[in-house]
Amino acid sequence: MKIAIFGNAMKSETLQEVQHILQFMSDKDVEVYLSQELRQELNLREYAGFPELNGEWSESGRSASEMINAIDFALSVGGDGTFLTSAAAIGQKNIPILGINCGHLGFLAEVQSQDVDMILHKLMEGQYTIEQRRLLNVTVLDNRGNKREGLIMAPNALNEIAILKEGLSSMITIELKVNGEHLHTYHSDGLVIATPTGSTAYNLSIGGPLMVPQSRGIILTPIAPHSLTVKPIVVPDDWRFDIRVESRYDAFMVSVDGRSQSLSTDVTLHIERAPYTVKVVQIGDNSFLKSLKAKLNWGK
């Protein structure tokens, strides 16, 4: 079995958990790959760097694509933010991800530190299931409808794509078309387009509805809309969205799972379901409903 480990090398709790996992794996028939940042921070030169993160050739002479295609599982050690980073790094490689929680509130990183040994045993024994999580994809178009390549480096979102005003500017105007039909022109601080997985993230904090991750829907939730009659709406996940933004400063922010950048208002954003899914490893009797009650005190 080959396992890649992702984690934030700047956090001491992550490093401690990674060291524990390495010790656990030391007498197992498991080949472990660490990110370059983790390997350098832990000073473990005997482990090959996981080359997908740095684009370099591995120490064994195999290319990055050959190495990552050989990985059976990825461990994301940290919180939900680390899980999102791991999913973005893996991309379309079809590698299942197991989230190990070293943060606070974790809906993606569900495994707690005290359960790691038991969970890893079950993983190696094949006692797990795989959940398919849908993503969103954003494409930037110019005024002629041509793609503007390179403006968004990681265009796929497991949680959400957020259209936001830039800095302390006044509200922005967001014209939204759904399947080519004008739905609404929002006057607001922004608009969050979320997946069911992302319903417990940014969407929840601005009053959007909860959805179980297996749902086939997309949530549209405005941020501080100027009109009280504009409410969140859930639509099928095979619908397509085209967005134009007007701003006093001729710029706005687009955030893809928290990765934010500024764009000019002379572009159109095209958003639709991504052509692949993220595979999430589920072990034990954890469920979304149990997480709701345990982590959000839902229904109490």
Active site residues: 80
CB–CB of 70/93 below 8 Å? no
* Lookup: tokens for 273: 């379901």
The 10 Å CB-count burial string (b at 16+, else e) for 164-181 is bbbeeeebbbbebbbeee
User: Element (H or E) spanning 278, and its range?
Assistant: strand 268-282
Alpha helices in the chain, H assignment, sequence order = 12-25, 36-42, 64-69, 80-90, 116-124, 202-205, 288-295
Closest CA to 259 of 117, 146, 159: 159
Checking 200-207 for CB contacts under 8 A at 24+ apart, the result is 200/107, 200/292, 200/296, 201/80, 201/107, 201/159, 201/160, 202/159, 202/160, 202/162, 203/160, 203/232, 207/232
Q: What angle do CA 52, 6, 104 make, to 5 degrees?
A: 145
